[in-house]
Amino acid sequence: MLSVYKYIIKRSLLAIPTLLGVSMIIFGMLYLAPGGPVEVMMSSQPASAEQIQDIRQQLNLDEPIYVQYGDWAWDALHGELGRSWSITQGTAVNDLIIQRIPLTAELALLSMILAIAIGIPAGIIGAVYQDQIADHAARVVALSGISIPDFWLGIMLIVVFGVQFQISWASGSWIPLSESVTGNLKHLIFPVITLGTAYSGLIARMMRSEMLDALNGGYIRTAQAMGISNRTIVFRDAAKNAFIPVLTVIGIGLARLMNGALLTETVFNLPGIGQLLVTSIARRDYRVIQGIVLFVAVIFIVSNIIVDVLYAYLDPRIRLSGGD
């Protein structure tokens, strides 16, 4: 399995230009902001030109853009994303992101587990009972999941369970896992439902169409002619083939969730990466924004590599080659 390592190294090297491009674009935002970031930062409070000049000097904004970029990129290369400019001033961006990762990762994982737990069986049922009542029911559920905006579902859950039924953990503040496992999980139930249903719809639709494809495969007929039971044919023969493309959706979905669910985290007041991004944008805290976007890009690249490796593991027709 040496080829797998070779493949990962090759893909990682290919990621360098991507990251370079992403970092340049996100750094360019700073240059493009009208009046410069400091003016935007200070716009809420009266500030003299001298004060602005002071801050500009402090933040090295007087240097030419390529020098600034070079400094920042050099630090980023060493895993140092700089320091926040705003109220949390001075805090290392690394620390800000690292603090938020556990919550966001937990939310992402639980949501995806829920989405898979609903989506895969719903897709299989839809395909096996194609055009029958079970299929229609699964389709309605899936399409609702896709169509309902997650912030709306979140707000509705809070209104119904938090406000009407007065369930304390339906809304309100989040408790870290280290403090109370049950308390932590309780507070995540509704956010997980909100995010999970959205992705379950997507997974269900994809799984259904892939299952229909797989069930038409010649190998299904072969298995039937050999007396293999229908249950085995559906779950072992068809589902494994159908799952491979669905894995891409799951991988990308998980990467997106890892980058923080902006709206859901805001609605449920969860201090995750999404919420950090929203507040940083509001405060024009460019260093934090840049850090998060770079983090996002890295997560996407890594998850894509993981998906590709899993793909090759599940589908023997795809051979990983380190060479060529």
Partner 1 sequence: MLLILVTKESNRLMTEKILEVDNLTTSFDTEEGTVRAVNNISFSIEEGETMGIVGESGSGKSVTALSVMRLIESNGSIENGTIHYRGSNLLEKTESEIQSIRGSEISMVFQDTLDSLNPVYTIGTQINRVIRKHRDMDNKEAREETIRLLEQVGIPNAEERIDDYPHQFSGGMRQRALIAMAISCNPSVLIADEPTTALDVTIEAQIFEVLDKIQHETGMSIIVITHDLGVVAGVCDFVNVMYGGEIVEKSKTDDIFGDPQHPYTRGLLRSIPRIGKEEDRLRGIEGNVPNPAALPSGCTFHPRCPHATDECRQHDPSLQEVKRNHRAACIHIDGYKSLHKEDKEIIINDRKKGESDD
Residues 190-229 that bind partner 1 (CB under 8 A): 217-219, 221-229
Number of residues that bind partner 1 (CB under 8 A): 21
Q: Which two tokens stand for residue 92?
A: 């290392």
Task: Note whether 79 and 94 are within 8 A (CB).
Answer: yes
306 makes contact with partner 1 (CB under 8 A): no
Closest CA to 244 of 312, 183, 299, 294: 312
Question: Which of residues 104, 111, 241, 280 is near partner 1 by CB under 8 A?
Answer: 241
We find the least distance from the C-beta atom of residue 3 to partner 1, in angstroms, to be 16
Question: Which of residues 49, 316, 323, 324 is near partner 1 by CB under 8 A?
Answer: 316
| Residue closer to partner 1 (CB basis): 113 or 240 | 240
We find the least distance from the C-beta atom of residue 120 to partner 1, in angstroms, to be 16
We find the least distance from the C-beta atom of residue 225 to partner 1, in angstroms, to be 4
Angstrom distance (rounded) from CA 196 to CA 250: 11
Closest CA to 195 of 108, 299, 270: 108
We find the least distance from the C-beta atom of residue 214 to partner 1, in angstroms, to be 9
317 makes contact with partner 1 (CB under 8 A): yes
Task: Note whether 192 and 147 are within 8 A (CB).
Answer: no
Give kind and range of the element (H or E) at residue 252: helix 239-258
Long-range contact pairs involving 11-19 (C-beta distance under 8 Å, separation at least 24):
11/304, 11/305, 11/308, 12/305, 15/301, 15/305, 18/297, 18/301, 19/294, 19/297, 19/298, 19/301
We find the least distance from the C-beta atom of residue 17 to partner 1, in angstroms, to be 33
| Residue closer to partner 1 (CB basis): 87 or 225 | 225
| Residue closer to partner 1 (CB basis): 84 or 241 | 241
Q: Which two tokens stand for residue 115?
A: 């989405």
| Residue closer to partner 1 (CB basis): 104 or 241 | 241
First-to-last C-alpha distance (Å) of the chain? 17
| Residue closer to partner 1 (CB basis): 82 or 126 | 126
Indicate the length of the chain as a whole number: 324
| Residue closer to partner 1 (CB basis): 78 or 319 | 319
| Residue closer to partner 1 (CB basis): 142 or 233 | 233
136 makes contact with partner 1 (CB under 8 A): no
Tell me which residues touch partner 1 (CB under 8 A): 217-219, 221-230, 237, 240-241, 244, 314-317
